[in-house]
Structure 1
Amino acid sequence: MTNPLSACHELVVATSNPNKVRELTDLLKPLGIPIASLPTDVPLQPVVEDGSTLQENARKKACGYARQTGRWVIADDTGLEVEVLDGAPGVRSARYAGDDASMAMNLALLIEHMKDVPDPQRSARFVCHLCVADPDGNIALEASGQCLGRIDRQPIGEFGFGYDSVFLIQGTDRTLAEMDQQQTAQVGHRGQAARSLIASWKTS
């Protein structure tokens, strides 16, 4: 049986976030195919991320933009899950402080919600779900990854984005924002998901 992924000669990243495009471009180099941003020369309807899980949102974005562009699309949905907050911000990580909130506002709200939580109860994890859809909008491949850690009390670090500056990686005293792109790729949730996706791609 022919592997449908053999027909994919380019992947479009379903995001307007240049940080994610840059990171996924680097992580997916082992696939040996070009990684592109969403096209700007055609009108695209934003895909509403109203799924109840990261997997649902990744699927919606991949399939939605694949159908609109007629191209192979990879979508990522990532969330920070804090144990003492019952898994919040979770699927609403990008909208924790409101639908129009900036990441600075989301980060400030998380710090506020965690200010009275003792150190032993600050465990958390980053989860990333990746989904690849074919040009007809059918799901071709999925993978996920996670990074365990805990929430620090104040932002530290110059790299990364989002909640990276308060996420202390398990077994270290460093936040994700204190690691450069190469180091983050090794220990981070998106790197774990990308390696799992590449392995499945090459064996499918």
Structure 2
Amino acid sequence: MSKLPKVVVIATKNMGKAREFAALFAEDGIETKSLLDFERVPEINENGTTFEANARIKADTVSAFLDLPVLADDSGLSVDYLYGQPGVHSARYAGDHNDAANNARLLAEMAGVPPEKRTAAFHSVLVFAKPDQPAQDLVVSGTIAGRIASFPRGENGFGYDVLFELPDLKKTMAEISASEKNKISHRAKAMAKLEQQWRQWWLAN
């Protein structure tokens, strides 16, 4: 396994997310860094129309700039009644990364919608990029289905977790523990796929 990378950059400034991904590489002795470890990383214009497009933009831009392998993700909420919105605009649905405002707007948009029409899904796409090889990006995704609750419930999680109800559990994502969430979430499913594939992909290209 000597041909595996020595360093992988996680394209985020969120240290919690960076630590989460670091666990994927720790057993191979690979050091992980976040964008906070570098100066003058260019601003990334996430102007893609899909989660995959935005994750590719992040991974390929940072990899080309740093000349290092980069793992990026893009994720969000898709509501069937709203024709897939907020989608790639999930973090900025009602402003700039304001969870309370985003949830308030979503509840307003869904006011009066019956339970059977409140179906939704969380999506996550991970893109692993090598320097100067954007055509060889490894892309994996994960999805979890649910529905939009009629009011916020729970104290855990972040973002839309307080409104995303898991029908089988009859709880929102914010009403389950972090360990439970990390087993069933959209990002957890994508990370499981990445774990199965990334070594073979790296050594084959």
Instruction: State the TM-score, normalizing by the size of structure 2.
Output: 0.88
The Cα of 1:19 is off from its aligned counterpart by: 3.7
Report 1:1-80 matches (<5 A): 6-26=3-23, 33-80=30-77
Match of 1:132 in 2: 128
Query: In structure 2, what is the Cα distance between the partners aligned to 1:161 and 1:26?
Result: 21
What's the secondary structure of 2:35's corresponding residue?
Answer: coil
The farther-off stretch of 139-148 and 26-35 is: 26-35
Aligned twin of 1:107: 103
Residue 20 of structure 1 deviates from its aligned partner by 2.5
CA contact (8 A) 2:62 2:70 kept: yes
State the alpha-carbon separation in 2 of the partners of residues 136 and 161 from structure 1.
35
Which 10-residue stretch deviates more, 177-186 or 17-26? 17-26
Equivalent-residue separation in structure 2 for 1:50 and 1:44 (angstroms): 18
Structure 1 unaligned segments of length 5 or more: list them. Answer: none
Corresponding residue to 1:189 among 179, 186, 191: 186
Deviation of residue 154 (structure 1)? 1.7
Aligned to 2:154: 157
Could you tell me how far apart the structure 2 residues matched to 1:189 and 1:31 are?
A: 24
- Correspondence for 1:81: 78
Cα displacement (A) at 1:32 = 5.3
Alpha carbons of structure 1 residues 194 and 30: separation in structure 2 relative to 1, 3 Å: farther
Q: Is the 8 A contact 1:28 1:194 kept in 2?
A: no
Equivalent position of 1:167 in the other structure: 164
Residues 27 and 191 of structure 1 are in contact (CA less than 8 Å); yes or no, is this contact kept in structure 2? no
Deviation digits for residues 104-159 of structure 1 (CA, Å, limit 9, x no counterpart):
21111111111211111111000000001113362431100001101112222222
> In the aligned structure 1, how far is the partner of 2:16 from the partner of 2:119?
25
The structure showing larger relative contact order (alpha-carbon pairs under 8 Å, at least 6 residues apart) is: 1
Q: More displaced, 20-29 or 191-200?
A: 20-29
1:6 to partner: Cα distance: 3.9
TM-score (norm 1): 0.88
- Residues 19-28 or 181-190, more deviating: 19-28
Cα 1:52–1:175, aligned 2, differ >3 Å: closer, same or farther?
same
In structure 2, give the amino acid aligned to 1:106.
N
Structure 1 pair 168–29 and aligned structure 2 pair: CA distance change class (3 A): farther
Q: Residues 55-80 of structure 1: CA distance to partner in whole angstroms, max 9, x if unpaired? A: 00000000011112222111000010
CA contact 1:27–1:185 (8 Å) conserved in 2: no
Q: Provide the C-alpha distance between the structure 2 equivalents of 1:188 and 1:31, rounded to a whole number of angstroms.
A: 24
Partner of 1:163, secondary structure, is: helix
Aligned residues between the structures: 200
